[in-house]
Amino acid sequence: MVWVVPLVALVVGGWLLYKNFASSGPHAEVRFDTAEGIDAGTTAVRCRSVKVGVVKSVTLDKDIESVVVDIEFEHDSERFLREGTRFWVVRPRFSLTGFSGADTLIKGSYIELDPGALDGPRKSVFRGLETPPTTNSNVPGLRLNLAAETAGSLMVGSPIYFRGVQVGRIEERNLDGEGRGVTYNAFIDENFSHLLRKNSRFWVSSGIDISADVNGFKVRTPSLQSLIAGGVSFGLMDGHEAGAPAEDGQTFTLHRDMEAASLADFNPTLTFLLLFEQSVRGLTENAPVEFRGLKIGRVREISFDLINELDEKRIPVLIEIDPSLMGAHAGREVVKEDSRFFEQQVNRGLRASLKSASLITGALYVDLDLYPDAFPESMGEVAGQLTLPTVSAGFAQLEAKLTAILDKLEGMPVNETLDGITKAADEARLVLTESKSVLGELEASAAAARTALENPELTELPGELRTTLEELQKSVASVGPEGPVQGDLLRTLDELRASLRAMKSLTTTIDEKPNSLLFGRKSSGNPVPRAAEKR
């Protein structure tokens, strides 16, 4: 009976050990640079906010350059420990792209698990991420690689735009294997993955881009988010048809701006050497080469190293031309092995010249045009390069014209003209002096008029004029139809008529019998009887 108690204790202890081993899940080691936010026995391991394990211990690595975190997972969590599984510590993080881990301010930090492919090989040792990935690996979408020369302002979390709409983000930024460039891991949401094609172009759209070139000053301003956190845009260039859909893991070149992306298809197969007698100040590499305003190439190099002759005073400029930009017919003619296209055009007057693209920046470009009146020339070869004849144009031509104008001006009687101008100026000065005196007299007259207007007698004049007008009105009224003057005039006129009739009768009598004035007029024989005398 004494051995019953030890045997029972042994059975219970064995059962507890079995229960402990049977209920414990798999273990995994995760290495981090630091143990910030990680506590043994309390820090949980979560997958999509579901607890799947707990940190058992945190120890320093042998090289003291990292820490080893031992994690015990739950019994059914062994499927998470596969190739491609990622671990990172979730803690409050603030960056230009946003704020994350806010819930850890209350709950505390924890380790997030992003499981790899479920059919991948099993793994128990992992390297933890110091910064959390932007997108979990199980989120559907396109994952791409972008290659650039420099990082610029792009960072993890920078948005990716299509026509101004955010469709993805930058997930990771690293130097390439040889350190000659920068590679980005980019993610495009599944809803927008059909917009990306194999022939799409990517370019940086962050920051305010101010440039001065042959087209003048250019200012490009992105959205506020791109200005702060950087951004990438993609799309098809003008004139390109949509290609096949992009594949997951495809690598694209990240161009510095949209203009560089549009020039990515430039394929120059023809090179010519131009020798200019004028200054090439303002002409830079990659300056456009145009034919009557249409861009067909660019300047490749400007250097005396292009020629071997020491006594050559002309400036050598090497240009390259893309035949596909010259039109379908000309492009087919140029690419032929026995093509004499440019030789024929030179015979017709094709010449190269430097022209000013902007008076503000002073930038120059190479212009190819036909000059029918140009001096006959032909194509040549210098240092193994075909040459095209050049002519002076732009400011050089303007300078020549100005010189000719100055020569003509020099032959003109400038001194006599200046003397005439001087005399005219003197006369104008005298006229101006007289005008000033006249203005003085006018001012004096105006002052006298002002004094006269202010005289009290003149101020009483309106009243007297009003009285005079009233009297005149009365006089006019007396002469009117109702006035006595008109009645007297009528009577006077009647008497005047009677007198005139008497005078007429007298004149008639004298005319008929002139002696009537002496002997009287004979009675007519019809005497008027006299009235009876009153008694």
| pLDDT tens digits along 480-516 | 666 666 677 777 888 888 888 888 787 887 777 777 6
At residue 31, the pLDDT reads 92
Which sequence spans correspond to the domains of the chain?
Answer: 23-127, 141-263, 266-404
**Higher-pLDDT residue of 220, 350:** 350
Kindly tell me if the per-residue pLDDT of 227 is higher than 80. Answer: no
pLDDT > 90: percent of the chain: 11
Model confidence pLDDT, tens digit, residues 3-42: 877 887 887 777 777 666 555 678 899 999 988 888 888 8
Would you say residue 394 has pLDDT above 60? no
In this prediction, residue 359 carries a pLDDT of 73
What pLDDT score does 176 carry? 79
pLDDT of residue 154: 82
Burial class (CB in 10 A: 0-12, 13-18, 19+), 463: exposed
Backbone torsions φ then ψ of 285, nearest 5 degrees: -65, 145
Cβ neighbours around 226 below 10 Å, total: 23
Q: What is the mean pLDDT of residues 185-191?
A: 91
Residue 414: the pLDDT is 67
pLDDT score of 68 more than 90: yes
d(Cα 371, Cα 289) in Å, to the nearest integer?
17
pLDDT the model gives residue 272: 92
Higher pLDDT, 449 or 486: 449
- Residues forming a β-bridge with 159: 169
**What confidence score (pLDDT) does residue 527 get?**
54
Note the pLDDT of residue 57: 92
Give the H or E element holding residue 351.
strand 350-356
Side-chain-side CA neighbours of 470 within 13 Å: the count stands at 6
Please tell me the predicted confidence (pLDDT) of residue 299: 92
Per the model's pLDDT, the better-predicted residue between 264 and 210 turns out to be: 264
In the three-class reduction of DSSP (H, G, I as helix; E, B as strand; rest coil), residue 326 is classed as helix
Q: Which two tokens stand for residue 23?
A: 């209920």
The answer, yes or no, to whether residue 213 has pLDDT greater than 70, is no
Q: 73: closest CA among 36, 115, 41, 26?
A: 26
Closest CA to 231 of 187, 176, 166: 166
Residue 276 pLDDT > 70: yes
Rounded-to-integer distance, Cα 197 and Cα 142, Å: 11
Terminal alpha carbon distance of the chain: 217
* pTM tops 0.75, yes or no: no
User: Which of the four pLDDT bands, split at 50, 70 and 90, describes residue 163?
Assistant: confident
Under a CB-based contact definition with an 8 Å cutoff, are residues 204 and 257 in contact?
yes
- Copy the structure tokens of residue 304: 């005396």
Most confident of 389-393, 451-455, 473-477: 389-393
**Res. 191: pLDDT tops 80:** yes
Cβ atoms of 167 and 188 closer than 8 Å:
yes
- Given a cut of 90, is residue 318 above it in pLDDT? yes
Q: Can you read off the two tokens belonging to residue 262?
A: 């549009």
- Per-residue pLDDT, averaged over 445-452, amounts to 79
Distance between CA atoms of 349 and 368, rounded to whole angstroms?
Answer: 10
The more confident residue out of 532 and 265 is 265
DSSP for 86-131 reads: EEEEE--EEETTEEE-TTHHHH--EEEEE---TTSPB--EEE-BSS
**pLDDT tens per residue, range 164-185:** 888 998 888 888 777 788 899 9
Task: Give mean pLDDT, residues 234-263.
Answer: 84
Average pLDDT for the chain? 79
Q: Which residues contact 229 (CB under 8 A, 6 or more apart)?
A: 95, 96, 97, 153, 155, 157, 158, 159, 206
Count of C-beta atoms within a 10 Å radius of residue 276: 21
CB 483 within 8 A of CB 475: no
What pLDDT is stored for residue 14 in this prediction?
A: 76
* Residue 362 binned pLDDT confidence (cut-offs 50, 70, 90): confident
Q: What is the structure's pLDDT at 76?
A: 78
Higher pLDDT, 223 or 56: 56
* Residue 65 token pair: 């350059």
